[in-house]
Structure 1
Amino acid sequence: MAVSENDRVGTVETRGIEPVPDTERHGHAGQMFWTWFAANISILGLPLGAALVSFRGLNFWQAAIVAVLGSFGSFALVGALSIGGKRGGAPALTLSRAVFGVRGNAGPTLVTWLSRLGWETINTTTAAFALLALLDVAFGIKRNTVLTVVCLLVFIGCTLLISGLGHATIMWINKWATYVFGVLNLIVIAFLAATVDWNKVFSAPVGPASSMVLGIGMIAAGTGIGWANAGADYARYLPRKVPGGRLVAASAFGAGIPLVVLISLGSLLAAGEPDLASASDPVSAINAMLPSWMSIPYLIAAFGGLLLSNHLSVYSAGLTMITLGIRVRRTLAVGLDVVVTFAGGIYFILIAQDFYGPFITFLTLLAVPITAWVGVFAVDLMVRRSYDSEALMNVGRSSRYWFRGGFAWAAMIAWAVAIVVGLLFTEASTSATDVWFSGPLAHSWIGSNGLGWVVTLALAAGAYALLRRLDGTVRQEASEQRPQQQVLPAAAAQETS
């Protein structure tokens, strides 16, 4: 297919959430490999690996197994859900209107947007730490409040430029920047591996199997689950004929390779630096392990890796914001998003005393409704043959996805019930004495072993599979499914003007 002017490298993408017509579809499944590789070469994988050893009591070999299962498995799910993007040509949360109804979809969309903002704030904060450290090492410029704000603005400016240009530029940068920052990461990884206290690594006792189960859940929640409702955003330009299995494989290997390396290295480093997992500034904690000559490439790699992850998140957040009903152009939505992210970065660096504690807590809580959405959306994707492009853009009563009052109650009930049950098994805390939330079953066998997310996923999927059979409006919509190749210009204008 011919590439439209709307999706060329260096050109501002003017398309918002309206489905991509078949005549403008192009590319191949391998693009998803570079998308998810780029998103996961940031240094945040190191503290995750350290947490497996320091907090969960696993040895290196157990941590490596956990890293493989948690990262490859969760991103295989991301790839599977991205199949909806190439089928419907629209972002994930826009496609979700066909599942939850044009009004009911507001709940999952809002949760997703908050999740995006959280990831972006973490990325922005960590990148600012990296840039501050780089200025100190390279030029002897010490950290102060004004310089901190400037570093935040530099990172946000880079993010805004890339995300603002849009899909084609992002996909191009993901591939070529991955080579550059990937090589820098390999150099740093090789040096860090040489500093590992191997005697401590090999003498570490075997941790309990329950900790491995908990670790898999933690890695899945901290990596793939957070991206599960974004895969379609990047697959929507792909031709329908692209095999779904290739999307799954490209996503799993693209993210799994860098994550396993970084998480495993983090678990190795924790043998000599057990405080790495709880460091308020993980960039500086790792930087302290390096000689000054190695710090510069490390900090550049850290900044670049975080940028590659952040521009993906901001791009998806802009699409999610439009889906939520904020009537702005995609470029303005991206701008509004980074303003909120900047405020979050100021809070984390200048006000908050603990960095990684709130991060893990944030992931724990938002993983519940996102996992519930995944369960519902996955079941719908397995039985759905097509999406109605015009109906996706019509949020009025005449929309095919209006169902009852704008809500698909089968999906809404399944989602809500799964969230409530999932929270029963969830505890979110930054320490033993700072508990943000603790469900009544958080200390049961399921809760203690970190299986609440499994219960949430299974319950959401099972409940929806049952309830959709009982919901007459859903059965009627399913019987009318037919592929739509184009979206009416008037419908597109309704959402993007």
Structure 2
Amino acid sequence: MRSSQHPSGPHGLSASRSAGHPPTLSGRLSRGADHRLRTVRGAALGMTLACPRPGQVIGPRGALGGFVSSVALGVAGVAAATQTDMTDAVAGTEQLLPGWFQPLFLALVLGGSVTNSIVTLYSSSLNLQALGVPWRRSKAIAISAAVTAAGSLCALFLTDFTSSLLSFLSLLITVFAPWGGVFLTDMLMRRCHYDPPALHAGPDGAYWYRSGYHPAGVAVLLVGMAFAALTCDSELWTGPLVVPLGGADLTLLGSLVSGLVYWMLARRAVAPHTDPS
């Protein structure tokens, strides 16, 4: 896929095409914190993961903390659903709380929604810049906020918001499933070993491929998306293969299809980076 001086991945779409553009998230990670984090690039669209330095691993305490907190929240939600109608999670939870705590609960819900929206809008502006859109960060955030507000108002007053959201999310899997398959396959083939300087080297880097695009990554992503679209069963779109398959929704298998095909096409060209030193 696309790579440049501020790439979003070895095979991902380009970030900034000139030094004058604001730095991307990948650039911040690879240069920040005294290089304590190493950037790992996606094989399909732009995505950046922070990997520890060689020899460092995620400790059992960190993994246990994330696991316990996630399970605790899940158990709390299941327990709440046994006591009240959780169709509306906020209203249902409010009925289980004492009266004095309800105003604080609503304030926490509102504050959490606002902070989550801020992070989401900031991430949206990064994605626009990663696609090569020549906008300043502030302008990208403002436009993202305007589009989001317009879409939310339409969903609230013109349609049922929950149904519209779920229908939209059900279609995203047709893109994210094959993208995830290619990304994870590339990361496994490289054993999470990438060359950070080469990621920012532009045409002189090892990840530039053909005019900044990796043919195998682009082809496999399109193949996976086509498979997912043909087997997707959602309210907004039903693929032509759903009925012959007896109503089965095989969208998630798009990740396996794209991962397998990517391995077949790129296994001779993709290898872990080795540090000469």
Same fold, TM exceeding 0.5?
yes
Which of 268, 271, 279 is residue 82 of structure 2 equivalent to? Answer: 268
Identify the match of residue 403 of structure 1 among 203, 209, 212.
209
**Residue type of the alignment partner of 2:251:** G
What's the counterpart of residue 468 of structure 1? Answer: 266
Cα offset, 1:466, TM superposition:
0.9
TM-score, normalised via structure 1 length: 0.43
Distance 2:241 2:210 in 1: 34
Q: What is aligned with 1:344?
A: 151
Q: Distance in 2 between matches of 1:22 and 1:240?
A: 17
| 1:354 alignment counterpart | 160
**Cα displacement (A) at 1:343:** 2.3
Mapped contact 2:30–2:196 kept (Cα < 8 A) = no
Instruction: Give the corresponding residue for 2:8.
Output: none
**CA distance, structure 2, for counterparts of residue 377 and residue 460 of structure 1:** 9
Q: Does 1:382 align with 2:180?
A: no
Kindly tell me the number of residue pairs found equivalent between the two proteins: 252
C-alpha spacing 1:420/1:427, structure 2 compared with 1 (3 Å): same
Mark the CA change 1:324 to 1:303 in structure 2 (over 3 Å): closer, same or farther. Answer: same
2:123 and 2:65 map into 1 onto residues whose CA distance is: 17
Cα distance change on mapping 1:464 and 1:24 into 2, 3 Å? same
* Structure 1 position 21 matched with structure 2 position 31: yes
Cα distance in 1 for residues equivalent to 2:179 and 2:120: 18
Amino acid in the other structure paired with 2:34: E
Higher helix share: 1
Note the C-alpha offset of 1:321. 1.8
- Which secondary structure does the structure 1 equivalent of 2:237 belong to? strand
Distance 1:416 1:259, change over 3 A: farther
Determine which structure has greater relative contact order: mean sequence separation of CA pairs < 8 Å that are 6+ residues apart, divided by chain length: 1
Mapped to 1, the partners of 2:74 and 2:196 lie a distance apart of 38
1:326 paired residue number: 133
Q: CA deviation at 1:362?
A: 1.1
CA contact (8 A) 2:128 2:140 kept: yes
Seen in structure 2, the aligned counterparts of structure 1 residues 258 and 348 have a Cα distance that, compared at 3 Å, is farther
Structure 1 residues 422 and 251, CA gap change in structure 2 (3 angstroms): farther
| 251 and 409 in structure 1: CA distance in 2 versus 1, 3 angstrom threshold | farther
Output aligned runs, 1:134-149, within 5 Å: none
Name the TM-score, length of structure 2 as normaliser.
0.72
Identity of aligned residues (%): 23
**1:242 aligns to what?**
56
Cα deviation for residue 252 of structure 1 reads 5.1
Please give the secondary structure, in 1, of the residue aligned with 2:267. Answer: helix
- CA offset at residue 377 of structure 1? 0.7
Q: Deviations over 1:360-406 (max 9, x none)?
A: 111111022111111111111112253333443355x4443231243
How far 1:468 moved relative to its partner? 0.7
Match of 1:441 in 2: 241
The equivalent of 2:121 in structure 1 is 314
State the AA in 2 paired with 1:380: D
Q: Which runs of structure 2 are paired with 1:273-312 in the superposition (5 Å)?
A: 273=85, 276-277=86-87, 283-284=90-91, 287=94, 293-312=100-119
Work out whether 1:412 is the aligned partner of 2:218: yes
* Unmatched tracts of structure 1, length 5 or more: 1-13, 27-85, 101-107, 110-228, 430-435, 485-497
